């Protein structure tokens, strides 16, 4: 079975609209799909007819021991008041961050950056890639890499840290919305083995249920390592492409046989 429980539309930082994303999933014979946009459920505002079983999902940013951690919420009730409260808080935090970045970039001669992005893209989700594109469009940088290397990367003028909700708050909101909390891309945070185990312990204590064992194209050794942790901590296994845009590196959909020996998170969906 081909499934995908981690992908993004243009409601956050993906390139394709929800309709285009689902059509692409149909072409790839995906049977179960969850659009997990960052801190928003906007992809589910319109009903789309499809033979694919759609699982309502979201990817929340959170804080754990000063580390930014992403949590995927699957099978959530989009109308949940608790979930909506976190969504609103996260959106406000993203806007506040964008305002600070825009103000800092004014020193480079980038006037009205936030307003320009908002008017050109007509979307609420604004991140550093949007500022990078504007820097390129206005000739301040030659490409994305230069924009991040000089102005938006770690430690640069446009590197503004977000004050996200705490890990346990995000998990609680997902659980109260009837959903399943899944730790997204565990190896992305570059934690030591001992710190990763502490994260998994705290994640489970807070009500976390699933572990994303496969995230896009992944080295088999990493999949094996995460599979063992998944079994050890008795998590349900999830897999997702983390698809953002059509390219040769990340394709929509994952083969469920990659986690055949584990308890799949979607078994009860």
Tens of pLDDT, residues 54-97: 999 999 999 999 999 999 999 999 999 999 999 999 999 989 99
112 in a structural domain: no
155 in a structural domain: no
pLDDT of 122: 64
38 in a structural domain: yes
pLDDT of 123: 64
Q: Distance between CA atoms of 242 and 50, rounded to whole angstroms?
A: 21
Mean pLDDT of the chain: 93
148 in a structural domain: no
Q: What is the pLDDT of residues 134-165, one digit of tens each?
A: 999 989 999 989 999 999 988 899 988 888 99
102 in a structural domain: no
Query: Would you call 181 helix, strand, or coil by DSSP?
Result: strand
Q: How many domains does the chain have?
A: 1
First to last CA, the chain: 14
Q: Distance between CA atoms of 29 and 254, rounded to whole angstroms?
A: 11
User: Per-residue pLDDT for 125 more than 70?
Assistant: yes
Per-residue confidence at 120, pLDDT binned at 50, 70, 90?
confident
127 in a structural domain: no
Q: How many CB atoms lie within 10 A of CB 250?
A: 15
260 in a structural domain: yes
Q: Distance between CA atoms of 129 and 56, rounded to whole angstroms?
A: 26
User: Per-residue pLDDT for 12 more than 80?
Assistant: yes
* Domain with 194 in it: 2-86+163-268
Are residues 184 and 72 in contact, defined by beta-carbon separation less than 8 angstroms? Answer: yes
CATH (domain of 184):
3.20.20.140
61 in a structural domain: yes
Q: For the chain, what is the radius of gyration of the CA atoms? A: 19
Q: Is the dihedral of CA 225, 229, 234, 238 positive or negative?
A: negative
Q: What is the pLDDT of residues 160-189, one digit of tens each?
A: 888 899 999 999 999 999 999 999 999 999
């Amino acid at each position: 079975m081909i499934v995908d429980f981690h992908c993004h539309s243009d409601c956050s930082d993906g390139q394709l609209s929800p309709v285009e994303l689902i059509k692409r999933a149909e072409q790839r014979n995906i049977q179960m799909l969850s659009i997990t946009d960052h801190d928003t459920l906007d992809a589910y505002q319109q009903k789309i007819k499809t033979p694919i079983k759609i699982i309502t999902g979201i990817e929340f940013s959170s804080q754990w021991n000063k580390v930014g951690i992403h949590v995927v919420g699957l099978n959530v009730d989009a109308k949940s008041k608790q979930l909506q409260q976190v969504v609103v808080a996260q959106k406000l935090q993203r806007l506040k961050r964008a305002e600070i970045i825009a103000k800092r970039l004014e020193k480079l001669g980038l006037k009205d950056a936030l307003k320009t992005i908002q008017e050109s893209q007509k979307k609420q989700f604004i991140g550093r890639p949007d500022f990078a594109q504007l820097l390129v469009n206005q000739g301040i940088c030659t490409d994305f890499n230069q924009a991040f290397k000089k102005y938006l990367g770690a430690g640069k003028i446009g590197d503004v840290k977000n004050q996200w909700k705490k890990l346990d708050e995000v998990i609680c909101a997902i659980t109260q919305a009837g959903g399943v909390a899944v730790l997204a891309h565990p190896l992305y945070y570059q934690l030591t083995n001992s710190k990763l185990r502490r994260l998994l312990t705290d994640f489970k204590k807070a009500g976390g249920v699933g572990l994303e064992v496969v995230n896009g194209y992944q080295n088999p050794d990493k999949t094996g390592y995460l599979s063992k942790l998944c079994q050890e901590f008795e998590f349900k296994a999830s897999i997702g492409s983390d698809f953002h845009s059509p390219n040769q590196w990340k394709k929509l959909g994952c083969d469920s046989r990659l986690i055949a020996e584990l308890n799949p998170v979607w078994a009860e969906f």
